[in-house]
């Protein structure tokens, strides 16, 4: 379970508690943005959303089951980058909904 958490967030055992709290909030915000716009993403960015979920699932399955380092920093960006793109799309849509962007 620890390796799965490492794959989906930046939280680490070796970081300070303050740092991990910040990173947990940061990660939760990214996933919150994706979840609140999941219907929009599934309609407008369906293929990208499916590929992101597939990449994340396979990455967790493969990297978390390997007996490599406990903190897979080099593998983490591979599956977090598509989530950043989805969170960006969600954030722009949210800004448009509240009329900050045209």
pLDDT tens column, 19-72: 999 989 999 999 999 999 999 999 999 999 999 999 888 888 877 666 555 555
For helices 17-36 and 73-97, the axis angle rounded to 10 degrees is 50
Q: pLDDT class for 74, splitting at 50, 70, 90?
A: low
In whole angstroms, what is the distance from residue 59 CA to residue 47 CA?
Answer: 18
For the entire predicted model, the pTM comes to 0.80
| CB-facing half-sphere around the CA of 48: CA atoms within 13 A | 15
Residue 59 to residue 87: CA distance in whole angstroms: 19
For residue 73, the model assigns a pLDDT of 65
């Amino acid at each position: 379970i620890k390796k799965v958490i490492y794959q989906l967030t930046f939280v680490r055992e070796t970081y300070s508690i303050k740092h991990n709290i910040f990173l947990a909030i940061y990660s939760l915000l990214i996933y919150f943005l994706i979840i609140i716009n999941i219907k929009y993403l599934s309609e407008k960015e369906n293929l990208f959303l499916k590929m992101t979920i597939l990449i994340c699932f396979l990455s967790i399955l493969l990297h978390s089951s390997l007996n490599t380092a406990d903190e897979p920093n080099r593998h983490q960006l591979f599956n977090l980058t598509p989530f950043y793109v989805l969170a960006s799309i969600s954030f722009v849509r949210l800004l448009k909904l509240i009329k900050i962007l045209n």
